[in-house]
Structure formats: structure tokens, C-alpha cells
Amino acid sequence: MGFGEHAEAAARAGATRQEAAEAIGVTFLMKGGTATIYGPRAFDAFCEFESANSAGEDPA
């Protein structure tokens, strides 16, 4: 499961942008080197799914 699927699942579960940002921030603090690359991409994906869910659209 890639970050896109996780981002979509979080958005469908009702996570907020703040919660997603905090979760990604924790990976930075845990010295997750790849998190510095994939974290922003995951957040962008989450924001797209969250916006689609808010608009009542099916993001898939």
C-alpha cells in the first residue's frame, strides 16, 4: 500500500488537514529520511482526496 492509498483512506475516515500534517510531521521527527521527500507528496494527495470528499465527489 502506497502513500496514495493511505492518503485516500485517511480522507475517507474523516481526518483533517491538520491531523494529516501532524502525522507526517511525526515521521520527520523520527528521522525518516524518505519522509522529507514523500511527506509533501502524501500531504498533497491527502488534500486532493479531502477536497473531493468535501465536495461529495468520488476521487478514485
pLDDT-derived band at 41, boundaries 50, 70, 90:
very high
Give the residue from 13, 31, 34, 26 showing the smallest Cα distance to 46.
13
pLDDT value for 59: 64
Residue 33 reports pLDDT greater than 90: no
Q: Judge whether 49 and 7 are in contact, CB under 8 Å.
A: yes
pLDDT value for 44: 97
How many percent of the chain have pLDDT more than 90? Answer: 67
pLDDT-derived band at 54, boundaries 50, 70, 90:
confident
